[in-house]
Structure 1
Amino acid sequence: MTTDKTGAPTTVEKLADRFTISVDGQLAGFTEIVDRDGQRVFPHTEVDEAFQGRGLATILIGEALQQTRSAGLRVVPVCSMVAGYIDKHPEFADIADPA
């Protein structure tokens, strides 16, 4: 189980059009996805203001990228938070395509 910066347990779940992150069962944020032609486009990521500063976007995006790799898809980081994550975590650069 992954915890945020406060030690609270987090859960990342893949839905049809997004990955969500919950803290103690409460929805805290999401990153939207659109799958097409072997690519997963990430257009937008958002974390609720009440949960900002706890590292949730980093946890969410990291898990979403790991699941995208496992699914055999490439990443198109339209969202600046996803692009920034890939810049800081070059282990995902090999599956990233230009936005």
Structure 2
Amino acid sequence: MEKRHTLVDNAAEKRYELDLGDGMALAEYVLGHGLIVLTHTEVPPKYEGRGIGKELVQGVLEDIRRKKLKVVPQCPFVATYIRRHPEWMDLVLTAENK
């Protein structure tokens, strides 16, 4: 997927931010020891249905992989994205890979 926006991990706010120029998409998280819980994603209403959520989640998962963390996809959008894109399943925390 083509990257159209810049993703920033705003650790102080515990969220990833995707700057859209005139708005911001975000993915909130809770960081634990060796893992990250993705709790909520949000895309401004005027950007819904334009692939921004997918761009956001893909960028977040790429960063999580770089940081060698496991992910707990608590957010339904993130969980669905991972289910539809099994190449990210290795990042998901399970009983077997704790």
Q: 2:8 aligns with which of 13, 16, 29?
A: 13
> 1:11 and 1:26, CA in 2 relative to 1: closer, same or farther beyond 3 A?
farther
- TM-score normalised according to structure 2 size: 0.86
What corresponds to 1:77 in structure 2?
Answer: 73
Indicate conservation of the 8 Å contact 1:20/1:27, yes or no: no
CA distance, structure 1, for counterparts of residue 29 and residue 68 of structure 2 = 15
Q: Cα deviation per residue 1:38-90 (whole Å; 9 max; x = unaligned)?
A: 11100110111111111000000000001001001000000000001101111
Once the two structures are TM-superposed, the CA of residue 27 in structure 1 deviates from its matched residue by: 2.7
Counterpart of 1:92 in 2: which secondary structure?
helix
CA distance, structure 1, for counterparts of residue 22 and residue 62 of structure 2 = 23
- Counterpart check, 1:34 vs 2:30: yes
Unpaired runs of 5+ in structure 1? 4-9
Runs of 4 or more, structure 1, over 6 Å off, are none
Number of residues of Structure 1 aligned to a counterpart in Structure 2: 91
Q: 1:53 aligns with which of 46, 49, 74?
A: 49
Q: 2:92 aligns with which of 87, 92, 96?
A: 96
- TM-score normalised according to structure 1 size: 0.85
Identity across aligned pairs (percent)? Answer: 34
CA distance, structure 1, for counterparts of residue 28 and residue 56 of structure 2 = 11
Unpaired runs of 5+ in structure 2? none
